[in-house]
Amino acid sequence: MRVESGDVSLAVYEHGDPANPTVLLIHGYPDDHAMWDGVVDALISRYHVVTYDVRGAGDSSHPRAVSQYRLEHLANDFFAVADAVSPAKPVHVVAHDWGSIQGWEAVTDPRAPARVASYTTISGPSLDHIGMWIRRRMAKPSPRHVGQLLNQQLHSWYILFFHTPVVSELVWRLGAGKVVARIEGLKHAPRVKNAVHGMKLYRANIFQRVRAPRERSTDVPVQVIAPTGDRYVTPALLEDLHLWASRLWRRKVIGRHWVATAKPGVIARMVDEFVSHVSGSPATHALERAKSGRSLVVITGAGSGIGRATAQEFAAQGDFVIATDIDLATARETADQIGGVAYQLDVADEAAVNDLANRIAAEHGVPDVVVNNAGIAVAGPFMDTSTKDWQRVLDVNLLGVIHGCQAFGRLMIDAAEGGHIVNISSAAAYTPTRSLPAYASSKAAVLMLSECLRAELAPQGIGVSAICPGIVNTPITRATTFVSGNQEQLRERTARAYQRRNFPASGVAREIVAAVRSNRAVVPVTIEAKAGLWGSRLTPGVMRRLARIGVGQ
């Protein structure tokens, strides 16, 4: 259909049942309505989905005068389309790039409360908000603010280029679109016609609005989706949005600037969650966390020791913690202390781990952080360690970690919102000893697994940390299996030694939380763990000689 807006004729495309809520999608530069095809396909079963070519793009009119591309004209175009496709009800707006810029113009317009039910913006801030953002940072030019300004300028280099007449048009005609497609991973290069006419958007608005910004606020519910790999809009540029949007949800998505094209299913899910909630449905767990900023943390072996301390530390930071343990009673004790929830879990049981991961995702959402902490200790000479002992320690310490990484890692990848996996290794992973061959081998495998997994999951925005504690005073010493000698005497002797060292589990917990916040790869905890790591790298021969000394025997 065609919609007239002043002297401009807009090409509008409707999909789905008009009786359903209307979702109106606005494309950016240098695209046309086709960029939304994947999102449309994912939404049409539940919504009346509308796309249109903005002026200067696709099959809509292409005004010659730069002044015809000012934001007030673009806002009028939007309201004309909204009135045509949903005259009786407000529409839910989803916009990208320049579509978001003109979307902000519309939702901060006095007409918005009657015509806009919600606004989802991707990679396109308001130009007025940018102007205010710059003013605030120039007024208090701290090193952080100066760094933010310079960083955004570097990411906005193309704006000056688009203001260069003749040359910029020529570059597009000579194949710049193919370069953009290659860099951004697009299947199709942008159309030259869209790129050439669309540069008038920049020339008509950027400097005029940024130099003289207006105070533009809205009470329309706003969902901000920020791609983590956006080359053009830095996260800092979105910091002040709470000043202008009274009902704000912030979400990140793992992807580049054109994430809506690359991951249409993910974007459609986020839009559906938001629109459904604004329309009266309960918020999904992911949407609740987007509003509150709280992380969802799952910890195995959380019934005591490092696991319980880590649960307490994350809870103290304001996060919601799910405590799991093979002993449900101790997991419940932990959960009761911190206001979390508890589940029974044997990490050696792959099916049980997969089932619980799916249950947690259904009942609480996809975790932001998973701490694979559950472990056991087996001590004694290699020749005295039976195959059964080896199987037991590897089932829990190694396969238990593998099960957790796979089950929750898949959920994180599918959600495309990033996350962090913490695997508890040990200083024993890099400090060989004749007394702990089974335990040390299992923890060395966890360390290498973590390093490999970190490389694999980095493109998905998922961090992986291996925590390597040294001598820590936890209940594991009294549960250690000694393959030779008097069990009770050896356990008591080992426990007393760890008590004399008296490094608390809370110290490890603080390092775990810090590792998640800073995305550290390998974290030795305690002085002996740090010394052992450096020794393994600088003087491995000395470490091998020290390995001949028995411990706890």
Q: How far is CA 15 from CA 42, 45, 96, 170, 214, in A?
A: 11, 9, 19, 36, 36
- Compute the distance between CA of residue 452 and CA of residue 411 in angstroms, rounded to an integer: 19
The two tokens of residue 11 are 């090409």
Query: CB-based burial of residue 461 (10 Å sphere; 0-12 exposed, 13-18 middle, 19+ buried)?
Result: buried
- Compute the distance between CA of residue 460 and CA of residue 247 in angstroms, rounded to an integer: 29
Contact 396, 407 (CB under 8 A): no
Close Cβ partners of 400 (under 8 Å, ≥ 6 residues apart): 300, 347, 348, 353, 372, 374, 375
Q: How far is CA 127 from CA 104, 305, 354, 379, 388, in A?
A: 8, 52, 46, 64, 66
- Compute the distance between CA of residue 343 and CA of residue 357 in angstroms, rounded to an integer: 11
User: What 3-state DSSP class applies to 300?
Assistant: coil
Per annotation, catalytic residue among 47, 119, 439, 498: 439
**CA angle, residues 304, 305, 310, in degrees to nearest 5:** 95
- Compute the distance between CA of residue 33 and CA of residue 36 in angstroms, rounded to an integer: 6
Contact 547, 432 (CB under 8 A): yes
The two tokens of residue 272 are 């559906």
Contact 439, 379 (CB under 8 A): yes
**CA angle, residues 91, 131, 78, in degrees to nearest 5:** 20
Close Cβ partners of 297 (under 8 Å, ≥ 6 residues apart): 311, 314, 319, 320, 321, 322, 367, 368, 369, 370, 371
User: What 3-state DSSP class applies to 92?
Assistant: strand
Q: Which of 161, 304, 333 is nearest to 232 (CA)?
A: 161
- Compute the distance between CA of residue 341 and CA of residue 363 in angstroms, rounded to an integer: 11
> Is 52 known to be catalytic?
no
- Compute the distance between CA of residue 96 and CA of residue 262 in angstroms, rounded to an integer: 13
The H-or-E segment that residue 499 falls in is helix 487-501
Can you point out the beta strands (E) in 6-58? Answer: 8-15, 22-26, 48-52
Close Cβ partners of 369 (under 8 Å, ≥ 6 residues apart): 295, 296, 297, 298, 314, 319, 419, 420, 421, 422, 516
Torsion of CA 104, 106, 111, 117, to 10 degrees: -70
Query: CB-based burial of residue 388 (10 Å sphere; 0-12 exposed, 13-18 middle, 19+ buried)?
Result: exposed
**Which positions are annotated as active-site residues?**
439
